[in-house]
Amino acid sequence: MDMSIRFPGLKLVLDYVPKSFEIFGFEITIYGVLIAVGMLLGIFFVVLEARRNHEDPDGYLDLTIITLIAGVIGGRLYYIAFSWSQFSGKSWKILCDIRSGGISIYGAILGGVLVAALFCRLSRTSFWKMADLACMGILIGQIIGKWGSFFNRESFGEYADNIFSMQIPLTVVRAGEVTTAMRENLQTADGLSWIIAQPLFLYESLWCLLVFLMLMMHLRKRVFQGEIFLRYLAGYGLGRAVIQWFRTDKVYFPGTEIDVS
């Protein structure tokens, strides 16, 4: 029963929501699968769109592959840097253990952009032109990959009792993410204590979908190279700034109460 998630306002009860599954004895996390699926679909979209625009699809394929690798590394390093208390004194292998989470989208974008700029400089292609299309692939990855937080029971929001609120067993969430308001409004059912939280993974996924659709409308109407990429940064940043306000797993700059995100 502690593997279930409920949405009372929607009359939806998911009795078994696993975090992983096994194939030939090897554990595969659903978070990792969703990230991989999002990446592959993003690459497919970018290459297909490049062909439609009569551009070099191989160049975009090379760009997306190396920026994805750089993005994963950058996202992991960024996450570790601002969550060092969780990793201090542990093995260097923590750098590779990303199957269950621990990647910052900001670090991923920063790492990807830096490597993409270097790639474009070496290949003598326009960074801004390629970034306009590449960011659409990034959005596809975000739309799908964000659902990994649902299966991991993480990145949820402060207590709120509305139609989208979800119930999660208290025993399966990290203690640091459970707020005073959540503890004051615990509910008991089937012998378990349940917290009530906002499904921020859903809000962020839907926001990224909206940004994607809006950018698709402007993709062939852009006035200058880099316009779509800048619209992506502004659009996603605006939505994330609002969503981040409600998160309970905020990471602060050392010695301050300034939220890194």
Question: Tens of pLDDT along 112-168?
Answer: 999 999 999 999 999 999 999 999 999 999 999 999 999 988 888 999 989 999 999
Q: Report the 10 Å Cβ neighbour count for 203.
A: 17
For the record, the structure tokens of 5 come out as 């998630």
Cα–Cα separations (whole angstroms), residue 88 to 84, 91, 154: 6, 9, 22
The parts of the chain modelled with pLDDT lower than 50 are: 100
**Residue that the structure tokens 């062939």 belong to:** 220
- The reported pLDDT for the residue numbered 97 is 61
- The reported pLDDT for the residue numbered 181 is 93
For the record, the structure tokens of 201 come out as 């993974």
To the nearest 5 percent, what fractions of the chain are helix, strand and coil? 60, 10, 30
- The reported pLDDT for the residue numbered 90 is 61
Return the closest-CA partner of residue 124 out of 59, 219, 71, 66.
59
pTM: 0.87
For the record, the structure tokens of 119 come out as 């790639």
For the record, the structure tokens of 35 come out as 């990230």
CB-side exposure of 40: number of CA atoms within 13 Å?
Answer: 6
